[in-house]
Amino acid sequence: MTYEQARAAYADWGVDTEAALRTLATIPISMHCWQGDDVKGFEAATGTSGGGIQATGNHPGRARTPDELRADLEFAYAMIPGRHRLNLHACYLDSDERPDRDAIEFRHFAPWVEWAQGQGVKLDFNPTFFAHEKADDNLTLAHPDKGIRDFWIEHGRRCREIADAMGAAQSGECVNNIWVPDGSKDNPVDRIGARRRLEASLDAMLDGPRDNVLDAVECKLFGIGVEAMTVGSHEFYMGYAIRKGTALCLDMGHFHPTENVADKVSAVALSVQDILLHVSRPMRWDSDHVILLDDSIRAMAQELVFGDLLGRVRIGLDFFDATISRTAAWVIGTRNMQKALLEALLMPRDRLVAAEEALDFTTRLMLTEELKSLPAAAVWAEFCAREERPVGAELVQSLSGYQSTVAARG
């Protein structure tokens, strides 16, 4: 089907495909650096990764240096329509120096900032509270040892400083997302003590304004090794974000599998101004499979569009799979998020809402089901053509071709 035919088919339902394409082109997605190297980073790290962060697989082609990671990112962005962001973790510093986490500075990230400016890519940032010997107890900001807490508070403070400088350099907000692995394998007896320590540490870390930073806090239900309690649970961070005015990060892999994370967005949006998404796909014990164009992602995109929340929700991705081409994973996942957004933008919202308000649930169901057969793929292909990005066999060939150029990496 041609784009013109698709445009006419949507027009019959009262949908303007041109308006949908214009909106889609303005939605940035923050691609996570850690898909490119299995969350290893570029420090001489000594600790284990707690809280369930575990990339499995040994597909050839892992980026081993910042230059390799940047080359992979450049390729990935060239396969993805639109202008996007890069979400950088503190352990991805690019420097000949080897500062510990409590000694990192903006200059250790200067090559990233320079590269991002050259690429027209804006940066987001994350302190790294894992893969370090001082995190091996699966406790950081909530650790009973004040010395360890202070070490991580200092790390967090410095990360805000770095994110602020990144924001200033790019003349726009840098999201600084905080996730800590803190928790307990077996039933703790002093849950509130741990939560008081986490809160006090966060307060110390986030003290003082940072004009170019949007701080976000990310909860998790459980991780491997912290099955009995995660200190930073949903209720903990929801309360914290409301009381302290931070953004709330909802990671789609961090809830019970029967929960609908899309449903949470509108509920949270009434109490929290800014929301960060980590779009992900949980599967059994893992929270980080590459996202598919599946119902959970479609539901999330619909919530953002129907709830008119695109201006308040930053879309980030969080998955890592080392069993497949890492660059292909980025491209597939990011494009899937965009496809879901496009499908949502192509829905006749007013008509659906009218049916719902009239309690005409039959019409609502007929509409949503019939709409699934409309030619969204032709509209997506048009978007890619306008943005000079490949689709179909050409995309597959490009992804495979790039993978073969990196496969020899040791």
Contact stretch for Mn ion (CB under 5 A) within 32-40, 234-242, 310-318, 372-380: 310-318
Contacting ligand L2XQQQDX within 304-323 (CB under 6 A)? 318
Question: Does residue number 290 form part of the binding site for ligand L2XQQQDX (CB under 6 A)?
Answer: no
Token pair in block for residue 4: 């013109």
| Amino acid (one-letter) located at 201 | S
Residue from 318, 321, 343, 382 touching Mn ion (CB under 5 A): that is 318
Q: Which stretch of DSSP H or E encloses residue 398?
A: helix 392-406
How far from the centroid of its chain's Cα atoms is residue 403's Cα?
23
Establish if 251 lies at the interface with Mn ion (CB under 5 A). Answer: yes
288 catalytically annotated = yes
276, β-bridge pairs = 249, 314
Distance in Å, CB of 13 to Mn ion, minimum = 36
Residue 220, binding choice from ligand L2XQQQDX, Mn ion, none, Cβ under 5 to 8 Å by partner class: ligand L2XQQQDX
Find out whether 310 and 343 touch, Cβ atoms under 8 Å. no
Q: Is 288 annotated as a binding residue?
A: yes
Compute the distance between CA of residue 120 and CA of residue 109 in angstroms, rounded to an integer.
17
Take residue 181 and report the two structure tokens written for it. Answer: 């692995």
Closest contact distance (angstroms) between CB of 35 and ligand L2XQQQDX is 10
Task: Identify any residues that bridge with 30 across adjacent strands, giving them in sequence order.
Answer: 85, 316
318 as an active site residue: the answer is yes
Residue 113 Cβ vs ligand L2XQQQDX, minimum distance, rounded to whole Å: 20
| Residue 70 binds to ligand L2XQQQDX (criterion: CB under 6 A) | no
Instruction: List, in order, residues 6 or more apart from 5 with CB less than 8 Å away.
Output: 375, 378
Give the x/- contact pattern for ligand L2XQQQDX in 99-138, rule: CB under 6 A.
---------------------------x------------
* Nearest to Mn ion of 318, 343 (CB atom): 318
CB 124 within 8 A of CB 316: yes
Catalytic residue list contains 254 = yes
- Taking phi over 0 as left and psi of -120 to 50 as alpha, with beta for the rest, 51 belongs to left
Confirm whether 278 is a catalytic residue: yes
Coil, helix or strand for 174?
strand
Task: Compute the distance between CA of residue 167 and CA of residue 172 in angstroms, rounded to an integer.
Answer: 5
Query: How far apart are the C-alpha atoms of 335 and 317, rounded to whole Å?
Result: 11
* Interface of this chain with Mn ion, residues 265 to 294, rule: CB under 5 A: 278
- Quick one: tokens of 175? 């999201």
Binding site residues, ligand L2XQQQDX, CB under 6 A: 34, 39, 51-53, 89, 126, 179, 218, 220, 251, 278, 287, 318
Known binding residues for Mn(2+) are 254, 286, 288
Catalytic residues: 179, 218, 220, 251, 254, 278, 286, 288, 318
